[in-house]
Chains A and B, each alone.
Chain A
Amino acid sequence: MAAILANLNQFISAIAGFLTPLALFHVSWSTLLGIIIGALPGLTATMGVALVTTLTYKLPPDLAILILICVYNGAIYGGSRSAILLNIPGTPANAATTLDGFPLARAGRAGKAMGIATSGSVLGSLIGMFFLATVAPLLGNYALKFQSFEFFWLAIFGIVISGHLTALEDPMKGWIAGFLGLLVAMVGQEGIHAYERFTYGTTDLLGGFALIPAMVGAFGFAEVMSVMRSPAPEVVQEARDSIIPKLGEVFRYWRTIIRSGLIGTIIGIIPGVGEDIAAWVSYAAARRKSPERDRFGKGSVEGLMAAETGNNACVPGAIIPALTLAIPGSAPAAVLLAAMFIHGVRPGPMVMVESPEFVYQVVAMVFFSTLGMLIYGLTLTKPLLWVLAVPRTRLMPVVFVLCAIGSYAITQRTFDIWVMIGFGIFGYILREMKYPMAPMVLGIIMGDILDKNLRRGLILTDGDLTPFFTRPISLVLWLVTVSSILLSIEPVRRGAQRAAQALRPWRPRAGTETR
């Protein structure tokens, strides 16, 4: 009880700390910018956070991170607007939103759909925030037990699980993307003997590829090319009905809201999976449990609520491992993590020892971004319609100008513009060939962790591999990793399904399965 009160006290202090005109000003513009970035097809949350990182590196750390979290949370919500009005998800996280959001808009209920999306996003974000405040300290304390063996497996586990879940159709492409990311991280001076790997005498590569220019390229430049290649979007639906949701209608789906919030948070905690998968899994779970499952895909309020609750709950969820393990739960969280390092904040297992107040500051930041989202969500209708009407031929060159100068600005090296271009082309090609980006981003972040911890572990045991497989946490991590790989092999999966059915004491009635 005393611990809960102490946590609550820290949270209230953090809230009070941000109740200054300057902080509130930053919350107001950055949440709005996030919503606009999210709403514009072609501008994703990852790109938004990466670009805004380049604009905030001169600010004090707490304000800079506040701005980035507002952009991140706002963008995931903002994407629902174009999903509903254009049938194009503003960010990949809103793909599930199109299934019911657009049919509602076409039926003349765009206002209602936007209101439901706002309610779902706000409630999802609050559920995620609750778990951020309660789980992060626990995980932070638990993470203190992690040694090299566990961190090695955590890196492999993250790549394999992220690769699997972000490319369910073809997990191998997810794994290839992840291992390529790890390989990218090998470039530059290594952390144990300071040997320069794959630099070939170039001083620019001594520190490896900087994450922000790489992310701006892979998510910004690649997206510019992708948007310009695709045909122009068509009709923007108008909202003639009220955008203010009825409370009774929202809370009628309280089970869906809580379930989706939990799913979103848990998917967020899994390294490198992210908001799009959170939305799809929440949507699938809601459809399976719903008595109105026939309405799903035809304008179901519950389906829309599930998708939007799930993706926004994932945002605080993805911040949990970023804060406590320095391992991001999603691609935008990876950029956020990089931004924290740029600002001298050192997340990781020591965060609860060195600066526990920072965790609660982050919870407060999520709270303020949620508040901003609610206010803009219920008031901004027409201005966002105008934003959506801006032709891509006028928006994309401006976006690219920011990609170029943003990559350059952090270290003021022209080399970083080339890094942005290189990763943009690389990212575009991989994306066109259905390689997911999230495992690659995770790989770039985890490369250093994998490298140092595998070698340190081997030195500690003098080459004995036993502790890598027998320490309790390592055991769980490698078992899950190997199971994930085995279950992606078709005959093994079929065999496992048959075995599970044989062991099941009862069989589902015909027609109750909702595949």
Chain B
Amino acid sequence: MTLRPGAGSDGNPPPSHLPPYDRSEKTADMVKADFLTGLVLILLSLFVVFESWRMPRLEHLKVHPLSVPGLVPAFLGIVIFVLAVILVVRSVLAGGHRLGLSNEVLRRLRVEPGNRRLLVTAVLTIGYAGFLVGSIPYWLATGLFVFAFIVIFERRRGMTRREYVRLGLVAAILGAATSAVVTWAFQSMFLVTLP
């Protein structure tokens, strides 16, 4: 059966080989990522097993010893621990423990346009939903967020003053419209007390 496994949201046809690692540069990064993920998962699973062990056995309630609250989390912690160890061992065998982090690699990651767009998106979205909403009126926070998002991502070097004004106008209209429609819909139609 010719499956195209793991076709993700990027839609690119995935590679047809089945073993987890090949020799491409992208895979080399994945091997390193797996090594780090495996370590994090080992720590997480140990924490879960430890916490499950600490959970009460409820002997004073005379409950059945196999119905204690920590049983299933401990079971899951052990399974994740085993899977994470396999992930780390597999990654180490493929050289994933040699992370090769240098200033040059970090600089390249920092200046890569996709990563910069991601960082700006994360700052704007988390800043809006996590901090702005609830601190200032909802309609104002939403309008400002949409306005800032559009202006920041659509402005280009060398834009004329006229183009700047046009961009600001479009962003302001879209920000105001989004804010007005969403505020009205949730407040008046769905009777939500806005944050």
CA distance A459 to B58 in the complex (A): 15
Residues of B within 8 Å of A231, CB to CB, are 114
Residues of B within 8 Å of A287, CB to CB, are 2
Interface string of A419-430 (1 = CB under 8 A from B): 011000100000
Residues of B within 8 Å of A193, CB to CB, are 58, 61, 63, 67, 69
A129 within 8 A of B: no
Interface secondary structure of A, over-half rule: helix
Determine whether the beta carbon of A281 is less than 8 Å from that of B80. no
Interface string of B129-160 (1 = CB under 8 A from A): 11001100010001001100110011000000
B161 within 8 A of A: no
Residues of A within 8 Å of B10, CB to CB, are 230
Q: Look across to chain B and name the residue whose beta carbon is closest to the beta carbon of A86.
A: B11
Residues of B within 8 Å of A195, CB to CB, are 55-56, 58, 69
CA distance A276 to B3 in the complex (A): 11
Determine whether the beta carbon of A167 is less than 8 Å from that of B125. no
Q: Look across to chain B and name the residue whose beta carbon is closest to the beta carbon of A183.
A: B76
Determine whether the beta carbon of A186 is less than 8 Å from that of B76. yes
Determine whether the beta carbon of A172 is less than 8 Å from that of B86. yes
A145 within 8 A of B: no
Residues of A within 8 Å of B121, CB to CB, are 224-225, 228-229, 396
A311-333 contacts to B (CB < 8 Å): none
Residues of B within 8 Å of A398, CB to CB, are 146, 174, 178
A79–chain B nearest beta-carbon distance, Å = 10
Residues of B within 8 Å of A515, CB to CB, are 2, 16
B102-146 contacts to A (CB < 8 Å): 114-115, 117-118, 120-122, 124-126, 128-130, 133-134, 138, 142, 145-146
B80–chain A nearest beta-carbon distance, Å = 5
Interface string of A79-93 (1 = CB under 8 A from B): 000010001110010
CA distance A14 to B71 in the complex (A): 45
B19 within 8 A of A: yes
B88–chain A nearest beta-carbon distance, Å = 11
Residues of B within 8 Å of A166, CB to CB, are 6
CA distance A179 to B10 in the complex (A): 25
Q: Which of A135-143, A403-411, A471-479 contacts B (4 or more CB under 8 A)?
A: A403-411
Residues of B within 8 Å of A183, CB to CB, are 48, 73, 76-77, 80
Q: Which of A30-38, A449-457, A499-507 contacts B (4 or more CB under 8 A)?
A: A449-457
Partner of A92, one of B9, B48, B87: B9
Determine whether the beta carbon of A179 is less than 8 Å from that of B80. yes
Determine whether the beta carbon of B66 is less than 8 Å from that of A455. yes
Determine whether the beta carbon of B69 is less than 8 Å from that of A197. yes
Determine whether the beta carbon of A402 is less than 8 Å from that of B182. yes
A168 within 8 A of B: yes
Residues of A within 8 Å of B87, CB to CB, are 172, 176
Residues of A within 8 Å of B185, CB to CB, are 55
Determine whether the beta carbon of A414 is less than 8 Å from that of B2. no
Partner of A225, one of B19, B122, B154, B174: B122
Residues of A within 8 Å of B145, CB to CB, are 397, 400-401
Determine whether the beta carbon of B20 is less than 8 Å from that of A169. yes
Determine whether the beta carbon of B67 is less than 8 Å from that of A176. no
CA distance A514 to B3 in the complex (A): 11
Interface string of A423-467 (1 = CB under 8 A from B): 001000001011010000000000000110011101100110000
Determine whether the beta carbon of A280 is less than 8 Å from that of B7. yes
B192 within 8 A of A: yes
A98 within 8 A of B: yes
Determine whether the beta carbon of B6 is less than 8 Å from that of A436. yes
**A224-B125 contact, Cβ under 8 Å, with A169-B15, A458-B67:** yes
**A404-B72 contact, Cβ under 8 Å, with A169-B20, A393-B149:** no
Residues of B within 8 Å of A450, CB to CB, are 72
**A409-B186 contact, Cβ under 8 Å, with A169-B18, A182-B76:** yes
A356-409 contacts to B (CB < 8 Å): 391, 393-394, 396-398, 400-405, 408-409
Residues of B within 8 Å of A221, CB to CB, are 125
B45-102 contacts to A (CB < 8 Å): 48, 51, 55-56, 58, 61, 63-64, 66-67, 69-73, 75-77, 79-80, 83-84, 86-87
CA distance A287 to B1 in the complex (A): 10
A418 within 8 A of B: yes
A190 within 8 A of B: yes
**A186-B73 contact, Cβ under 8 Å, with A99-B13, A175-B83, A195-B56:** yes
Q: Which of B125, B126, B138 has the most CB of A within 10 A?
A: B125
A283 within 8 A of B: yes
Determine whether the beta carbon of A180 is less than 8 Å from that of B80. yes
Q: Look across to chain A and name the residue whose beta carbon is closest to the beta carbon of B70.
A: A197
**A394-B174 contact, Cβ under 8 Å, with A224-B121, A455-B67:** yes
Partner of A463, one of B6, B11, B66, B154: B66
Determine whether the beta carbon of A179 is less than 8 Å from that of B83. yes
22 pairs from A and B in contact (CB 8 Å cutoff): A55-B185, A95-B4, A95-B8, A168-B5, A179-B79, A183-B80, A186-B76, A193-B61, A195-B69, A231-B114, A280-B3, A284-B1, A288-B1, A288-B2, A391-B154, A400-B145, A403-B129, A404-B129, A408-B195, A412-B192, A459-B64, A459-B66
For the complex of A and B, 5 pairs with smallest distance between CB atoms: A168-B5, A397-B149, A95-B7, A458-B66, A195-B69
Given contacts A176-B83, A455-B67, A455-B71, 8 further A-B contacts (CB under 8 A): A55-B185, A198-B73, A225-B118, A229-B114, A405-B182, A417-B195, A433-B33, A455-B66
